[in-house]
Chains A and B, each alone.
Chain A
Amino acid sequence: MSIVALTAALGELGRPAVVVRDAPAPDPPSRAASRRAHVTRLRERADASNNASVDRTRESDEELMARAGQGDREACQRLVERHLGRIHAFATRILGNAAEGEDVAQEVFLRLWKHAARWKPTGAKLSTWLHRIALNLCLNKRERQRETPSEHVAETAHAGDDPDAVARRRDMERHVNAALGTLPTNQRAAITMCHYQGMKNAEAAEVLGVSVEALESLLARGRRGMRARLASVAGELLDGGVA
Chain B
Amino acid sequence: MSDLTRLERVLEAYGAEPERWPADERAGLEALLAQSGRARDLRDAAARLDALLDAAGDVPPPGPELADRVLDRAPPERATTHRWRWASVVPLAAAAVLALYVTRTPEPAPPAPVEPSAAATTDSFEIAMTDLGVYTTPTDVLLSLDGVDPLAGVPAFDCEESDLGCLQLDLEGSDRRTMQQEARRMRT
Do these two chains really belong together in a complex? Answer: yes
- Cα distance A2–B50 in the bound complex, in angstroms: 19
- Chain A residues with CB under 8 A of B15: 195, 223
Stretch at the interface among B64-72, B131-139, B151-159, B162-170: B64-72
User: What is the minimal beta-carbon distance from A97 to any residue of chain B, in angstroms?
Assistant: 11
Q: Would you call A19 an interface residue if the criterion is a C-beta within 8 Å of the partner chain's C-beta atoms?
A: yes
Closest-by-CB residue of A relative to B69 is A106
- Chain B residues with CB under 8 A of A223: 12-13, 15, 49, 53
- Chain A residues with CB under 8 A of B129: none
Q: Would you call B117 an interface residue if the criterion is a C-beta within 8 Å of the partner chain's C-beta atoms?
A: no
Give how many A-B residue pairs fall within 8 Å (CB-CB): 186
User: What is the minimal beta-carbon distance from B57 to any residue of chain A, in angstroms?
Assistant: 3
Closest-by-CB residue of B relative to A201 is B22
- Cα distance A38–B15 in the bound complex, in angstroms: 13
A110 touching B73 in the complex, CB below 8 Å, given contacts A93-B59, A154-B58, A176-B52: yes
Contact B52 A19 (CB under 8 A): no
CB-contact partner of A68 in B23, B52, B74, under 8 A: B74
Contact B61 A242 (CB under 8 A): no
Contact A15 B13 (CB under 8 A): no
Residue tally, chain A, CB below 8 Å to B: 79
CB-contact partner of A154 in B19, B23, B56, B67, under 8 A: B56
- Interface size class on chain B is 35 or more
User: What is the minimal beta-carbon distance from B67 to any residue of chain A, in angstroms?
Assistant: 5
Contact B9 A220 (CB under 8 A): yes
17 extra A-B contacts, CB within 8 A, seeds A13-B55, A223-B12, A241-B48: A10-B52, A10-B54, A13-B54, A18-B52, A39-B20, A77-B71, A84-B70, A105-B70, A113-B73, A117-B75, A154-B56, A176-B56, A195-B20, A223-B15, A223-B53, A226-B49, A242-B41
A residues contacting B by CB (< 8 A) are 9-10, 13, 15-19, 25-27, 35-36, 38-40, 43, 68-73, 76-77, 80-81, 84-85, 88-89, 92-93, 98, 101-102, 105-106, 109-110, 113, 116-117, 152-156, 169, 172-173, 175-177, 180, 191, 194-196, 198, 200-201, 212, 215-217, 219-220, 223-224, 226-227, 230, 234, 237-238, 240-242
